[in-house]
Structure 1
Amino acid sequence: MPVAPVAHAEDLADFVDASPSSFHAAAEVARRLQEAGFTSLDETDAWPETAGKHLVVRDGAVIAWVVPQGASATTPVRVFGAHSDSPGFKLKPQPTTGRLGWLQAGVEIYGGPLINSWLDRELRLSGRLVLDDGSEALADSGPLLRLPQLAIHLDRGANDGLTLDKQAHTQPVWGLGAPESADLLAELAASAGIDASRIRGYDLTTADAARGALFGKDDVFFAAGRLDDLVSVHAGVVALATAADGFDGDHIPMLAVFDHEEIGSATRSGAAGPFLEDVLERIGLALGADRGERMRALASSWCVSSDVGHSVHPNFAEKHDPVVQPLLGSGPILKINANQRYATDGTGAAAWHGWCEAAGVSSQAFVSNNTVPCGSTIGPITATRLGIRTVDVGIPILSMHSARELAGVSDLFDLARVAEAFFTGTEI
């Protein structure tokens, strides 16, 4: 494996490790881009009317952009969109539970996780704590929880069909003792260096505690938790940080990382909410745009919605289209669906292939088997909200929505290369 893709994958491992929750991911995006010269803005402040590199965080979402010196009221944007959340488990109210001498955590299912994949793994509990003065603190327990599977001796039919009750069988253990003698939130408060009595609210989710790893013949594989969709977030950050250095193009490069994609995106920080539209309007106002000029800018703009898709599976080939079968290590994918579950159309496909050609990257098509329902992404939502030309892309993976997913090392690097070509290239 060449050095550059390996280095990119190792940096992704660092990024995933620093991003166990959507709130941590947004903070890590902001940290990396600030190191690249971006200025963090607050939504409650007036924003500068000058060209420059800026970002804004809203809860577990973050948007970053570069306004070039020659930007005008009708300058279009190039949005690379992704999402910061992943399926898993979210902490309930009154979370310290247990029975029979075990301490357990009260959790509910977030999104659509492959539940059995979460068994017998060390898990982190991470997210934000909201304090009595309204301030927020990031918290991460490190390896703390585990969902222990019932031994085969006590369930002889487990290998013939494992069935997990979503309430009774998904409450992880985290210690020994009586619930009244312990406090799970105090563990989180200690990790954040704060007094647990100050906690007034929280948003805490689970993540696999194991670090991402390269493996396989010639290190062609990369496995980690939350690759859906930190793969795309990381690619966008790397690409934007590189593209922003001395950028003086005819458009505004923008990275938009949304939260809550796995549960429908209909939140203030999700793609169905107003976050992107708010940022675009404020940029337009700073450039002196009236409504007509903002609409002209959007009409010339693009959104590349990047999320993972399914690689052909060697043990379940019948689940895939019999002809269109993307494979790990063969390049990013262009996602297509006749019913517009993906926003790609002919115009978007042509543009995507142009950006891939500019980056020197091969691309693959993805389409679902007609008998298997197709998922969706932030792409159709963004196209519907803003009327912006949108194309859905990503990389192929296996074990989607598992606690630990599998990607091809070269695909990770190639996605970042195409993202950079998208940010920096001329109109296609």
Structure 2
Amino acid sequence: MVILGRLVFLATLAGLAQGEDAESWKSINDDFLARNRELSDVVELPSGLQYKVLGSSPDGGASPTSASAVTLEYTGHAVDGTKVESAHRVGVSLDAVLPGMAEALQLMRQGDKWEVYLPPSLGYGTEGTEEVRGDSALIFQVELVEVSSPSPPEEDQSPPEEDKSIAGLFQRIPRFAKFLLAFVAMVALQGLLGSSGRAANGAKSVPLASVTGKPENPHVFFDILIGSSKEPARIEFELFQSLVPKTCENFRALCTGEKGNALMFKGSIFHRIIPGFMCQGGDFTMGNGTGGKSIYGARFPDEWENGRVDHQVPGLLSMANAGPDTNGSQFFITLAPTNWLDGRHVVFGRVVSGMETVKAMEKLGDQRGRVASKVLIADCGELKSKAT
């Protein structure tokens, strides 16, 4: 019945899409993603990427990194049925695919088959391409056939002639490269127009060491209860006040509850945990990733004015969002470097003690984000007052 309902919904969307104006088309795609995230077999990540596991490698193959080359089999289409691309055993590097595909592939293992759903911000954005309308959600069926590292350049190898290099690239990835160029052009245009685009927000990367250990940085804590345990385990965080003061103040106040019990992490859960990726929490209104609220109202903008810290190590605190400038109360703790999120999610703190508790939490998750036992924030607060 679930499959039939999905097919009926897609067929309905295809009919509605004919001749729709831009605003109606955006609404249709938003509606698809909203309905899709409610399905029990669909996982939604902090970036808005959604996926469903169709099949897993029995031997637990390797996962690619941002520097890997991969061999894929895939088909893709928009919600109205417009074909995006299909290929049989094509070889690509991860920097030659759409941002959402790159994110998904780094979570997959060799031999996995997934259905991946890209929101427009991780696909072709508001501009679209010649084949695909702007604000289109995209659906890909992807099999990760092989993972390999790129060959290191030889010291004495002469560079290929430019026309041969381009021809060779387009022979291997005939339309992915075109889509990449279209995406880069779109981002460049957004930058010229002053857009706060997620892939090119203009914020420079700053060293992690430059924002840690400052006396004005607040220190806050979570006391975590895992499963039936009655003894909480503490995680302490340092917040990067000098870099992102508004984001830090939101998190600090939600730890102390000084804005009222309705605006507090205490009693909420970590609703999504994906080993090797992240632990996500902060939805104290719904408890399932669809709710939450900031101390400033429902949402507040991304803070890029002072630069950004990249997702370079485990144990970083970063804001979950539903697109540019949609920060609320949901956050995640990284379990590994997640560089594909740089410039898309605001890093605002780090774990300074209790990483062993985070690791214990990690063991309770699966690749769909499901949590085997309840992970509860039993108490939270501030350990170190901000400097005056």
Name which structure has the greater RCO, CA cutoff 8 Å, separation 6+. Answer: 1
TM-score (norm 2): 0.28
Query: Which protein has the bigger helix share?
Result: 1
Per the normalisation by structure 1, the TM-score is 0.27
